[in-house]
Amino acid sequence: MSNVDFKTRLQNWLPKLVLSPSLVLVLVFVYGFIAFSVYLSFTDSRLLPSYGLVGWENYSKLWRLSHWKTSLTNMGIFSVLYIGICTCIGLCLAIFLDQKIRAEGVLRTIYLYPMALSFIVTGTAWKWFLDPSIGLENVLQSWGWASFEFDWIKDRDYAIYTVVLAAVWQTSGFVMAMFLAGLRGIDNEILKAAQMDGASNWNLYRRIIIPQLRPAFLSAFVILSHLAIKTFDLVIALTGGGPGRATELPATFMYSYTFSRNQMGIGAASATIMLMTIAAIMIPYLYAELREKN
């Protein structure tokens, strides 16, 4: 088409031109780097990247490390409890808040504010609050409950649950907000119809309302699971991975193997496994979301 003038042609190119810096950044810094890290996981890199390929050796070493197994077990315990409890608390609070509660705005603000804090701040607060020598145990004993003991944060078998507690404290309010938005989006007339049909409150929620919150459940699950896998700062601030290795997670494992123990190959292998796990959850979700909005 010969009569397409320069200005029009420029206008046709501008959108692509303007998008390209972001695109280049993302392609290089995200996908290029992912490729590089995955590549490193097949090399003998230790303190610095090295390019001697060693096949699957890092992965087989990784799976023999008790440290890694501990991290994975902890990850399992942590993510199941964290996602489960956050969802329960979030859903209950949202349902309760949806009953024409006075001061709903204030309560909502209180439930949500921990989300604005850094995990380091959260970790610091809970670290001292759970510390038996000055925290809750000490307080309750001084209030006269001499036999009260609460030293989970110092206990190898229980420390991981304190991580769950602090993480739930931080994010359950956010989950509440997601469910509340879902509840407010339900057509009131359906509820009225169900009541006309004689449904009790219990049945109303169980049979009519909660099934309609499916999208909210799904988004909550996706967001919580990806937060769980990425949990790092909270453990650093709350327990430092201890006592011993009792609260190590894959994220802290990767960090210490890569930067303190100079086992970059193994660190990269663990990061690759983390990425794959998140991708397995996120890609189907994003795919479905993007298709839907077509």
Partner 1 sequence: MADAMQDTAVRTSRTVRILIYLILLLFGLFYLLPLYVMLINSVKPLNEITGGGMMNLPQALTFAPWAKAWSSAQIGVDPTGLSPYFWNSIKVVVPAVVISTILGAINGYVLTKWRFKYDKILFGLMLFACFIPFQIVLIPMARMLGLMGIAGTTSGLALVHIVYGIGFTTLYFRNYYAVFPTELVRAAQIDGAGFFQIFWRILLPSSGPIAVVSIIWQFTNIWNDFLFGASFADATSQPMTVALNNLVQSSHGVKEYNVHFAGAIIAALPTLLVYVVAGRYFVRGLMAGSVKG
Partner 2 sequence: MGFLDIDNTTKSYGALEVLHKVDISIEEGEFLVLVGPSGCGKSTLLNMIAGLEEITSGEIRIRGSLMNGVHPSRRNIAMVFQSYALYPNMTVAKNISFGLEMHGVPKAERDKAMADVSSLLQIEQLLGRKPGALSGGQRQRVAMGRALVRNPDVFLFDEPLSNLDAKLRVDMRTEIKKLHQKLGTTIVYVTHDQIEALTLSTRIAVMNGGYVQQLGTPQEIYDNPANLFVATFMGSPAMNVLPATISVQHGKPVACVALPDGTVVPLRLSQENLSAWEGKQILLGIRPETITDEDGADRNSKNVVNFTNRIIVTEPAGSDTFVTMSLGGKDVIARMRSDANVQPGNDFQFAVNMEKAVAFDPATEERIAS
In the region spanning residues 5 to 64, those forming contacts with partner 2, defined by CB under 8 A, are 5, 7-8, 11
Instruction: Mark out the alpha helices in 188-263 (DSSP H runs).
Output: 188-196, 201-203, 210-212, 214-230, 233-238, 250-255
CB atoms under 10 Å from CB of 141, counted, come to 15
Q: Measure CA 129 to chain center.
A: 23
Pick the binder of partner 1 from 173, 174, 175, 216 (CB under 8 A).
Answer: 173
Rg (CA), the chain: 25
CB 13 to partner 2: min, Å = 13
Pick 29 or 63: Cβ nearer partner 1: 29
Please give the size of the binding site for partner 2, defined by CB under 8 A. Answer: 7
From the list 55-63, 70-78, 108-116, 154-162, the region that binds partner 1 by CB under 8 A is: 108-116
From the list 50-58, 76-84, 147-155, 198-206, the region that binds partner 1 by CB under 8 A is: 198-206
Name the binder of 101 from partner 2, partner 1, none, CB < 5-8 A by kind: partner 1
Name the binder of 31 from partner 1, partner 2, none, CB < 5-8 A by kind: partner 1
Q: Check residue 1 for interaction with partner 2 (CB under 8 A).
A: yes
Pick 246 or 268: Cβ nearer partner 1: 268
Name the binder of 5 from partner 2, partner 1, none, CB < 5-8 A by kind: partner 2
CB 10 to partner 2: min, Å = 10
Q: What DSSP character marks residue 135?
A: S
From the list 66-74, 80-88, 155-163, 190-198, the region that binds partner 1 by CB under 8 A is: 190-198
Backbone phi and psi for residue 53, each to the nearest 5 degrees, phi listed first: -75, 135
Which amino acid, one-letter code, is at 25? L
Q: Check residue 55 for interaction with partner 1 (CB under 8 A).
A: no
Pick 14 or 92: Cβ nearer partner 2: 14
Within 67-96, which residues bind partner 1 (CB under 8 A)? 89, 92-93, 96
CB 95 within 8 A of CB 205: yes
The full DSSP string for 140-164 is HHHTT-TT----GGG-TTTHHHHHH
Q: What DSSP character marks residue 101?
A: -
**Omega before 243 cis (within 30°)?**
yes
From the list 2-10, 93-101, 132-140, 282-290, the region that binds partner 2 by CB under 8 A is: 2-10
Question: Which has the closest alpha carbon to 235: 222, 220, 250?
Answer: 250
Q: Check residue 203 for interaction with partner 1 (CB under 8 A).
A: no
CB 40 within 8 A of CB 269: no
Length in residues, the chain: 294
Between CA 152 and CA 146 the distance in angstroms is 17
Binding residues (CB under 8 A) for partner 2: these are: 1, 3-5, 7-8, 11
